[in-house]
Amino acid sequence: MQEKKNIADKIGKIDIEKIKHTGAVAVPSMFTLANMGFGFFAILSASEGDYVRAAWLIVCSYFMDMLDGRVARFLHGESPLGVELDSFADWMSFGIAPAYIMFRMTLKDIGYIGYAIAFFYVLCGLLRLARFNLKAHFGEEENSHASFQGLPIPGAAGVIIAIVLNYSLVESLREGVWASIMAGVFASSSFIVPVLSLLMVSSIPFPAYKGGISMASKSALILLTAVLVLFIGYPRETLFVVFSCYVLYGILRCLLNLIKSLFKSKTA
């Protein structure tokens, strides 16, 4: 009788552990699916011609994307399924949806070249995510607290979405310095989108910030506070400046490192 009781206790413990693990995996997956859902509805909004709503839906995808990983780590619910779901959700929200929005807004006006540019962005986004997953599966993960290899797909999508949101301001402002700048940026979208696509599949390192920004630094705290205040007052402009600075910082840092290495090789 005692032996049967011990076996029953073991079975009960196993079932409880399975339930706990299943719950820990399921909860972050709900945020991942919400990320995908916002991306899907962004595509539907763009198909109806409401590009501003589509762009804000993708902004909602960003929040879901930030939460799913943090929730998974907090609950110890990381799993291979979660990694794959996250990539599919990111491809939908930050790959397919931004390309479709930009195509409907402007790329369709340049004919077959616009089709090619939109598809090229989607393809490079897929390759970027596939490379990241392969590194994770084979234990060659990118240094998550230092840098990414290539521009992350959310960073590329952020520039596109910021352009879309700010173009709606251009239509309402019609004049002024910011309106002129954004009108020029929007007119250059057929060049910007391919550049973002190439950056995603490049080997240029971009900051990861997965470990967060150290609050021990007063300058970091002041900068973060300033960005939050600006975002509350000027959300569209702040999004454009933040994402553009992120992309430019990675490019400029790579160029500076290349110049330094050339000088060292000449002096050596």
Alpha carbon distance 93, 38 (integer Å): 7
**105 with 167: CB under 8 angstroms?**
yes
pLDDT of residue 208: 79
pLDDT average per 10 residues of sequence, the chain (268 residues): 52 48 67 93 96 96 85 67 84 96 94 96 95 73 67 95 88 73 89 96 84 55 81 90 93 90 75
Alpha carbon distance 1, 9 (integer Å): 12
pLDDT of residue 219: 67
pLDDT of residue 69: 73
pLDDT of residue 132: 84
Helices (H) and strands (E) in the chain, counts: 10, 2
pLDDT of residue 11: 46
**201 with 123: CB under 8 angstroms?**
no
pLDDT of residue 216: 46
pLDDT of residue 174: 64
- Residue whose structure tokens are 């700048």: 181
- Residue whose structure tokens are 């599919």: 88
Q: Which residues contact 12 (CB under 8 A, 6 or more apart)?
A: none
Alpha carbon distance 251, 23 (integer Å): 41
pTM of the model: 0.83
Domains of the chain from N-terminus onward: 2-267 (1.20.120.1760)
DSSP 193: H
pLDDT of residue 127: 95
